[in-house]
Amino acid sequence: MYVPRDQKKTIAKLIDYRKSIEYVREVKSIVKVEFEQVKAELIRELDNHAVTQEIEAGPSASNTSGTLGGRGNLFSFIGFNAGADPITPIRVAFDKIILTSTMIRRDGSAESYVMSPSADDIFRITPLPWADGRSWAEGIEKGIANLGNFLNKPTEESRSGGGIQSKNSVSGANFRPVPYIKDMISNFDQKINNLNNKIYI
């Protein structure tokens, strides 16, 4: 149950839940289950995101994320090599998130410590295929240049096989950024914070 903050001090004066071995053991068990649920929700959010699904569909996908105004698809526009699996590094990083410890406070609430990647950590493992030091995942949120030069047609000269960048502009189209990794991690962090404001009585 959730208890208002102003009631926590009152509860803490009446009883010290840290002294109950049974309570501590039970709360740590509950927190572990709830943490795994929050982690699973993060991975599910990644899997269900339109950007993820479009990229995983490969060079034959349609632009269901709406980032390209319907011109081709993200896999081909970003220039991933044919057969590449760009999402796996993100999924692996999320899967490695761990609950390192849980401390029980006097008032019965729990303070959990989690080892998880920041958005910048994810950006470092999602490099653009043609630009060292830049992240395609960050580009999804901030924008990726040269959509107006993108020719959406199969060609052997393309990394992906599904499109190529022209030296000249072929349209006035602009990339439309959408929320992606930062929002996912922010949602995850908020859910962990909610666990730390919960009293298990």
- 10 Å Cβ neighbour count for 161? 18
Q: What is the 3-state secondary structure (H, E, C) of the chain?
A: CCCCHHHHHHHHHHCCHHHCHHHHHHHHHHHHHHHHHHHHHHHHHHHHCHHHHHHHCHHHCCCCCCCCCCCCCHHHHHCCCCCCCCCHHHHHHHHCCEEEEEEECCCCEEEEEEECCCHHHHHHCCEECCEEEEEHHHHHHHCCCCHHHEECCCCCCCCCCCCEECCCCCCCCCCCCCCCHHHHHHHHHHHHHHHCCCECC
Q: What is the pLDDT of residues 106-147, one digit of tens each?
A: 888 889 999 999 999 999 999 988 777 889 999 999 988 764
pLDDT at 21 over 60: yes
Per-residue model confidence (pLDDT) at position 78: 87
User: Domain locations in the chain?
Assistant: 21-195
pTM (2 d.p.): 0.80
For the beta carbon of residue 1, count every other beta carbon within 10 angstroms. 6
Q: What pLDDT was estimated at residue 31? A: 93
Provide the pLDDT for residue 18: 86
Give the per-residue pLDDT at 147: 45
Could you tell me the CA-to-CA distances from 44 to 91, 108, 189 in Å, in that order? Answer: 10, 31, 15
